[in-house]
Amino acid sequence: MSRIGKQPVPVPSGVTVTVDGQTVKAKGPKGELSLEVMDLCTVALNDNEVQVEPVAKTKEARSAWGMSRTMIANMVNGVANEFTKELELVGVGYRAQMKGNVLNLALGYSHEIDFPTPDGLAIKTPKPTEIIISGIDKQRVGQAAAEIRAFRPPEPYKGKGVKYKDEFIFRKEGKKK
């Protein structure tokens, strides 16, 4: 049994959720999102709460049950308050700046990297070594952060690279004589 799937998704004030068959739509002050839930689950709206139930007792249905509930909860939370990911640039000469709608990164390569801002997301650079990505869709915010981090992942010897703000880089000891 899914412990997560059993819990109903509370709908906060200011957010309206509509369920039409397998389609769940959430509209709030930050925007609007919709989700097509798999056929392995049923969705119902009861007393300002969204309830997800599995159709059968198969392993696939139980797996989809918890995941569907979490995706609906992320959708409702995203339209109420945005999701954010913070990245840090560690290294001499590593910097980031916004040029219009494009994030310009200098990461120690012979060229600068231009990362266009995806639709529905906002990228800010309060400091040259800090990037803040925000948006209502948790998956898209995380994907954009992962793509920026992939340009220069942190290395274990000096910790240079692009890392998440709360990420711990396991350090290795250098060569011994």
Least reliable range by pLDDT among 1-15, 37-51, 92-106: 1-15
Q: How far is CA 146 from CA 50, 100, 152, 172, in A?
A: 30, 21, 11, 23
Percent of the chain with pLDDT over 90: 83
CA distance linking residue 77 with residue 29, whole number of Å: 11
Q: Give CATH 3.90.930.12 domain extents, the chain.
A: 3-80, 83-164
Confidence at 5, pLDDT banded by 50, 70, 90: confident
What pLDDT is attached to residue 2? Answer: 64
Largest CA distance in the chain: 70
Kindly report the CATH number that applies to the domain delimited by 83-164: 3.90.930.12
pLDDT tens digits, one per residue of 14-56: 999 999 988 999 999 999 999 999 999 999 998 889 999 999 9
The identity of residue 79, as a single letter, is V
CB-based contact 125:88 (threshold 8 Å) = no
Q: Which of 87, 84, 89 is nearest to 129 (CA)?
A: 89
- Judge whether residue 74 has pLDDT over 70: yes
What pLDDT is attached to residue 1? Answer: 58
What pLDDT is attached to residue 176? Answer: 85
CA distance linking residue 139 with residue 163, whole number of Å: 18
What pLDDT is attached to residue 101? Answer: 94
Strand partners, 122: 134
Give me the chain's average pLDDT, please.
93
Kindly report the CATH number that applies to the domain delimited by 3-80: 3.90.930.12
Which whole number is the average pLDDT over 97-116?
95
